[in-house]
Structure 1
C-alpha cells in the first residue's frame, strides 16, 4: 500500500511538471519529465508496447529452417560401444537406441530423394562385413544415404566398399580407421563431394571414452533430388 501511494504521488508530480512546462514552454521539460518517469518505472503511454515472440524449434534440432526443396537432417555417431547412433530426417527420428533399431557397425538409412520417404533402414555387423558390398551396389541413383558408425566399422571394410562410399560423395572414408567415429550424408548418382561428413580419430592420447573417441555429429539441409 505504501509503495502504491508513492507511485501515485510521483505520477501527480510528473503531471504538474508537464503542465508547468506547457505554460512556461522550456524546450526540454517534456523529455525531463519522461526521463524521470522512466527512471521510476512508470509506463509511458506514448511508447509502443514491446512484443516478444518465442522462438520455435526447427526440424531435427537445426538452428534454422531449411528452404523449400531441402530436407532437414541430423546424424550423430555412437558413443563408444554403449550408446547407439541417432539419425533424424525431415523432423523424424529414424534410428536410435530408443527405437531399438541400431547395432554395432554401420547404421544406414536410405531416403527417396524426390519425396523424402524412408526406403530402407539397415545395420551391418562389420566383424563379418556380410552383405555390405551388395547393399551398396544396389542403391538407386537419386537416393539420399545417411550413415552413422557405432563401435567400429572397419574390421571387414574392404577397399571396394570404401570406393562405393566415395561414389556416394564421401571424402573421409578412406581415412577411417579402427574405432574412429564417423558420420556421413551423401547421394547416389550425384557425382559430387558431400559437405556433410565428420570423423574423429581414435587415439589413446585423446580418446574420451577409453578406447573410443568423441561422438561426431553432422546436420543441415540436404537438397531434394528433383
Structure 2
C-alpha cells in the first residue's frame, strides 16, 4: 500500500509539472508570435466567406478596382499588395524588400506597370526620388512599408509623396508602419492611407509598431 501511494503521488506530480510546462510554453509563444495578415493566415471557414477579389468580404461597385495592402510585420514578415485579385508583391513572390515597396498601376485599365522596393535604411534615396518623378500621369501608386521606411527619407521625397495625396509622408520616420494608395497630382488628399508611429510605449512588437492592413475599392479615374 505504501508503494502504491508513493506511485500515485509521483504520477500526480509528474502530470501537474507537465501541464504547467505546456501552458507556460504556449503562453510564451503566443505573446511573441507575429500576427500574419488575416487574409494570408485565414482559416478554411474564413476563406470560404472571402470570395471576392483580393479577399474582400464585399464586392466593389462596378468600374472600381479592388485592392488590399498589408505592411510588413517588424523585420520578419514582408508586406503584401493585391490589386484586382492579382498579388503584385509578397514574400512568397520574393519581390519585397526592407524600406518602401511601391507598385504602379494603370488607373484606367488596372494593369500593373511596375513594382520596386527601395531600401530606406542603407540605400540611396536618389533612386526613390527618380522613381517618383517618373510616375506617369493617371497611374495609381500603392505603397507598403517594411522594417524601416523613414531613415533615408528627405524633404524632396516627402514632398513627392505629398503630391501623390499622402497626409503622413512628412511624418514618416524610423520603423514606422505605413500603407498608402495615391495618384499623381491629386487635388485632394487620398482617402486610402494608414500610418502608425514607432513608439516604445505602444509598439506591438519589440522595436516596431503593429502591421497595418488596408482594403478598399478605387475608382477608375484618380480620386
TM-score normalised by length of structure 1: 0.74
Cα distance in 2 for partners of 1:192, 1:89 equals: 22
**Are 2:172 and 1:176 aligned?**
yes
Task: Give the match for residue 86 of structure 2.
Answer: 92
TM-aligned CA distance change 1:68 to 1:153, over 3 Å: same
Pairs within 5 Å for 1:46-195: 57-126=51-120, 127-128=122-123, 129-195=125-191
Q: Could you say which structure has the larger radius of gyration?
A: 1
TM-aligned CA distance change 1:218 to 1:56, over 3 Å: closer
- Deviations 1:18-71, CA, capped at 9 Å, x for gaps: xxxxxxxxxxxxxxxxxxxxxxxxxxxxxxxxxxxx856111111211111210
Cα distance in 1 for partners of 2:96, 2:187 equals: 29
Q: Which runs of 4+ in 1 moved over 3 A?
A: none
TM-score normalised by length of structure 2: 0.75
* Structure 1 alignment gaps of length 5 or more: 1-53
Instruction: Say whether the 8 Å CA contact 2:50–2:57 is kept in structure 1.
Output: no
Instruction: Say whether the 8 Å CA contact 2:49–2:57 is kept in structure 1.
Output: no
CA-based RMSD? 1.4
SS at match of 2:72: coil
Cα distance in 2 for partners of 1:104, 1:136 equals: 18
Task: Give the match for residue 204 of structure 2.
Answer: 208
* Structure 2 alignment gaps of length 5 or more: 1-47
Cα distance in 2 for partners of 1:190, 1:132 equals: 19
Q: What is the number of residues matched between the two proteins?
A: 173
Cα distance in 2 for partners of 1:76, 1:104 equals: 14
